[in-house]
Amino acid sequence: MHEASALLVGGTLTAVDAVMTGQSLHALNLGGGLHHGFRGKASGFCIYNDSSVAIKYLQKKYGARVLYVDTDAHHGDGVQWSFYDDPDVCTLSIHETGRYLFPGTGNINERGQGKGYGYSFNIPVDAFTEDESWLECYKTSFKEVIKFFKPDVILTQNGADSHYYDPLTHLSATMKIYKEIPKLAHEMAHKYCEGRWIAVGGGGYDIWRVVPRAWARVWLEMTNKDISGPLSKEWLDCWQPESPVPLPNEWDDMEDIYEPIPRKPEITEKNALTLEKVLYPIRSSKQTAKSNEQS
Ligand SMILES: [Zn+2]
Ligand SMILES: [Zn+2]
């Protein structure tokens, strides 16, 4: 366990070096993203927290200010608590509310402590949240938080367990979000960080229909490729015989993979309100700065 977990951390550190030395603009370690690991304590399928180690490494070796963005359906607790009092690391986690889901944390009011107060952002979305509302939370918060924090580098955790098919969580996203997640991260990296973007994997428990397509999307985005339409016949022929469920034929999901969600308007409204509350401090400080300028 130690050796396998240490190797995963080494993979993320290698990605960090590739990006920070300028060898690559972006780097991806799909084996990383073990965001529940704590200092001295394994948790939630995670032994060592490669992102936490990598962020510390980015600070010590490169003096970098890091924005960590976590789109796994579970709260990125290990990374958040590791840098909770550090104003040079900003964490943003968008996850299913901890009400009925591990690890139970990730509330709006977890904003950091001491000097780190105001550098921890949590957007807990309601169970059954669908693409549109999820993407509104993701895009708006990412754009506003990065504008506020101005990092040197972005580290994204790409857990693929917010999909409707995921057996562990209760969100209702589709492949749409897995196309948009890396697309915005890529755009923001070029806009604010001269391209410096490190991505890691994370959770994802529909290993047949969701994870391969979602993680391929991260790589496709990083390498400036866009693909839609049918999946490769070679891949389908290789894995359909092993899969307990029929594999999808296309990169995108069909429109009817689930029945309409009855509470959609309420969920959308609740998430919008959550987003507003989370971003209120950086929006109001901007307002204050503006009115000071004017007066
Ligand atoms: Zn690029
Ligand atoms: Zn997860």
**Which pLDDT score is estimated for 84?**
98
3-state secondary structure of 224: coil
Token couple for 183? 């697309």
Q: Residues 164-193: what's their mean pLDDT?
A: 98
Query: Above 90 in pLDDT, residue 237?
Result: yes
Residues around ion ligand 2, judged by CB within 5 A, are: 72-74, 159, 161, 203
Specify whether the CB–CB gap between 143 and 113 falls below 8 A.
no
What is the pLDDT at residue 285? 79
The rounded percent of the chain whose pLDDT value lies above 90 is: 94
User: Could you tell me the two tokens for 276?
Assistant: 């507003």
What whole-number percentage of the chain has pLDDT above 70?
97
- Cα(22) to ligand 2 centroid in Å equals 31
CA of 280 to the centre of ligand 1 (A): 31
pLDDT at 290 over 70: no
Torsion angle of C-alpha atoms 184, 186, 192, 197, degrees rounded to 10: 130
Whether residue 249 has pLDDT greater than 90 = yes
pLDDT at 287 over 80: no
Specify the amino acid at residue 107. Answer: N
> Looking at the 3D structure of the chain, how many domains does it have?
1
- Which has more pLDDT, 138 or 288? 138
Element containing residue 216 per DSSP (H, E): helix 211-222
Side chain identity, residue 165:
Y
Q: How far apart are CA 135 and CA 57, in angstroms?
A: 31
According to DSSP, residue 82 is labeled H
Whether the pLDDT of residue 68 is over 90: the answer is yes
Task: Tell me the per-residue pLDDT of 94-121, one tens digit each, with 9 for 90 and over.
Answer: 999 999 999 999 999 999 999 999 999 9
Output 289 or 217, whichever has higher pLDDT.
Answer: 217
Q: What's the CATH code of the domain at 87?
A: 3.40.800.20
Boundaries of domain holding 244: 2-294
pLDDT in tens, 257-272: 999 999 999 999 999 9
Centre of ligand 1 from the C-alpha of residue 196, in Å: 9
**pLDDT in the model for residue 294:** 66
Q: In the predicted model, is pLDDT for residue 179 greater than 70?
A: yes
Average pLDDT estimate for 76-101: 98
Question: In the predicted model, what is the mean pLDDT of the chain?
Answer: 96
pLDDT tens sequence across 139-162? 999 999 999 999 999 999 999 999
Catalytic residue selected from 26, 35, 36, 75 = 36
Catalytic annotation present for 75: no
237 CA from centroid of ligand 1 (Å): 32
